[in-house]
Amino acid sequence: MRNITPGPSNILRAARRRPMAGALSVAVAAVVALAAGTAPAATAAPADVFGTATKGSAAVVDHGPWDRLLGTYVVPGADGVNRVAYARFKAEGHAALKSYVAALEKVDVAALDRPEQFAFWANLYNAKTIDVVLDKYPVKSIKDINLGGGLLTLVTGGPWKAKVVKVKGQELSLDDIEHGILRPVFKDPRVHYAVNCASFGCPNLATEALVGARLDAQLDASAKAYVNHPRGVRAAGGKVTASSIYSWFQADFGGSDKGVLDHLRRYAAPELKSALDNATGIADYDYDWSLNDAVPVAAGK
């Protein structure tokens, strides 16, 4: 297998989150457009454009630049939370990050096999999310960043609906990548442990890039880390409180509280699994949107 090094041309040399997302967002956008007297423009769905893979392909993408940036600026905490040194990242590594994202935009995604495609999209999502935050830093929450993208952003906040990257000539938003490609194409609930929304409540941004060759092991490790952390699940006195991710995207976890609990048990450590075995439902969901900053922005700034 030969490595693929991102470059200005011939990049492939043969070798979470929000309460309103996905189909609901599209439906509401259509209603808004019709109410304004205009029909929404007909465009190909991202899953249709990027749904083709090359089975057995030996082509890989060089995520080395992203790997080095993650290893430098993601800070694992003693509390089990990985935080990002945004101030230092912006001063020292932002230009390298932009170069990496620009290189990914030139990749012929269809030439990759499925695991390599998953790694490509998740790494692109995470890298662009960090890029968006760094462009506006300092901020206290990613939800304070509004890049446009329609009326719904006035309700949801955040940069997720703005077109921020261009792959295969198609402009894509972060929502397009997560809800238009990763979720419908791969149909793997571990997507939610792979993408990071730059918030404390989100599964960790890993200290290494995803790679197709080790994808399953990396996704399982991320799932276990989140499920067994209080941000993911808390179970005490017969009451289970879970991350809002399991409510917003319940359809990806079996479509019910039972489905969510079955999913959680799969990754839970013995003590948590025992508590979940005695649960019949989920009492509450919560989420913390504060920026996953190694040095939080002071109040009032």
What does the pLDDT look like over 29-68, one tens digit per residue? Answer: 443 443 344 444 557 899 999 999 999 999 999 999 999 9
Over residues 234-258, the pLDDT tens digits come to 998 889 999 999 999 999 999 999 9
Buried b (16+ CB within 10 A) or exposed e, 196-211: bbbbbbbbbbbeebbb
Q: What does pTM read for this prediction? A: 0.86
- pLDDT (mean) for 82-106: 98
pLDDT of residue 148: 87
pLDDT band, very low/low/confident/very high, at 298 (cuts 50, 70, 90): low
- pLDDT (mean) for 117-121: 99
Where do the structural domains in the chain lie, given as residue ranges?
Answer: 22-51+60-212, 233-286
- pLDDT (mean) for 207-217: 98
CA dist 276 and 257 (Å) reads 12
Selection from 96, 285, 283, 296 nearest residue 199 by Cα: 296
Q: By three-state DSSP, how is residue 93 classified?
A: coil
pLDDT band, very low/low/confident/very high, at 117 (cuts 50, 70, 90): very high
Looking at per-residue pLDDT, the higher value among 89 and 22 belongs to: 89
Looking at per-residue pLDDT, the higher value among 40 and 289 belongs to: 289
CA dist 79 and 279 (Å) reads 26
Whether the bond between 8 and the residue before it is cis, its omega within 30 degrees of 0, is no
